[in-house]
Amino acid sequence: MIQLREVSKSFDGGYSYAVKDLSMDVAEGETVVLLGSSGCGKTTTLKMINRLIEPTSGLISVGGQDVTSQEPVLLRRKIGYVFQEIGLFPHMTIEQNIGIVPKLLGWDKNRRRLRACELLELMGLDPGVFANRYPDELSGGQQQRVGVARALSANPNYLLMDEPFGALDALTRDTLQQELLSLKERLKKTIIFVTHDIFEAITLGDRIAILHEGKLEQIGTKDEVYNHPASQFVAELFSKPAKQLATFKEMT
């Protein structure tokens, strides 16, 4: 599982905090969605878990082991990470991008190729069309799906996904959300999924963690956060979709 204890991060020597006193546990096989608006500390939180950012204070453990006692490179091999900015390597083909971690793990070329094809198909991309292309020959949404495929490549137990479906249209997004749910069911992944979309949070999260200005407002099941909001902020956040629907009905 993944544990955070009183984790804080300041980028300016303590003048302001991107994340402040964040404590939460993500159980084995659980999906926790980090939900919150732009700048509330979602990406910073994910990056601290795989040591792309070091916390100012607090403790983080993955699989029962303090992350600071683990080599960053080895830690990152067991955690699949989907970057918000996607970050495919431009000089590598799609197949090579997906095969980066498998190559580090010593898989031979044939096995890497089969895995890349399997994952491209899972993401709804025809391997015959896409495997040998370069990232700049793909649309933003296609690149994003390759980013997800790359994170899954070595079948990691842990997945950190930073707005992985942000650039996708509603239909493709819906398909991939369902894929992720069935994948999780079959393979029992432990997932932290970042979004600012309430519907996505409700669809995917076993629990939802609402962040606001670097602080955890509440963590709970969709029933808990919707029916028993812990703060005014959470109550307002979850009453928004109903208000939008009412406005939509008035307009049509």
Ligand X SMILES: Nc1ncnc2c1ncn2[C@@H]1O[C@H](COP(=O)(O)OP(=O)(O)OP(=O)(O)O)[C@@H](O)[C@H]1O
Summarize as ranges the residues that interact with ligand X (CB under 6 A): 11, 18, 36, 38-44, 84, 196
CA distance from start to end of the chain: 47
Q: Which is nearer to ligand X, 30 or 162 (CB)?
A: 162
Q: Which is nearer to ligand X, 206 or 213 (CB)?
A: 213
- Alpha-carbon distance 59 to 130, whole Å? 41
3-state SS class at 2 = strand
Q: Which is nearer to ligand X, 119 or 209 (CB)?
A: 209
Q: Which is nearer to Mg ion, 43 or 61 (CB)?
A: 43
Which two structure tokens, joined as six digits, stand for 32?
């926790």
Residue from 8, 31, 43, 218 touching Mg ion (CB under 5 A): that is 43
Closest residue to Mg ion using C-beta atoms: 43
Q: Which amino acid appears at position 22 of this protein?
A: L
User: Nearest distance from residue 38's CB to Mg ion, in Å?
Assistant: 7
User: Nearest distance from residue 209's CB to ligand X, in Å?
Assistant: 12
- Alpha-carbon distance 168 to 206, whole Å? 23
Q: Which amino acid appears at position 190 of this protein?
A: T
Q: Which is nearer to ligand X, 15 or 248 (CB)?
A: 15
Question: What secondary structure, in 3-state letters, does 211-250 show?
Answer: EECCEEEEEECHHHHHHCCCCHHHHHHHHHHHHHHHHHHH
Rule CB under 5 A: is residue 97 a binding residue for Mg ion?
Answer: no
Please give the residues from 201 up to 230 whose contact with Mg ion meets the rule CB under 5 A. none
152 binds, among ligand X, Mg ion, none (CB under 5 to 8 A by kind): none
User: Nearest distance from residue 86's CB to Mg ion, in Å?
Assistant: 12
Closest CA to 238 of 202, 214, 212: 202
Q: Which is nearer to Mg ion, 70 or 84 (CB)?
A: 84
User: Nearest distance from residue 209's CB to Mg ion, in Å?
Assistant: 14
User: Nearest distance from residue 112's CB to ligand X, in Å?
Assistant: 31
Number of neighbouring beta carbons within 10 Å of residue 188? 11
41 binds, among ligand X, Mg ion, none (CB under 5 to 8 A by kind): ligand X
Q: How many residues does the chain have?
A: 252
DSSP E strand stretches across 13-131: 19-26, 31-35, 57-62, 65-66, 79-82
55 binds, among ligand X, Mg ion, none (CB under 5 to 8 A by kind): none
User: Nearest distance from residue 46's CB to ligand X, in Å?
Assistant: 8
Which two structure tokens, joined as six digits, stand for 128?
């015959």
Q: Residue numbers of the site for Mg ion (CB under 5 A)?
A: 42-43, 84
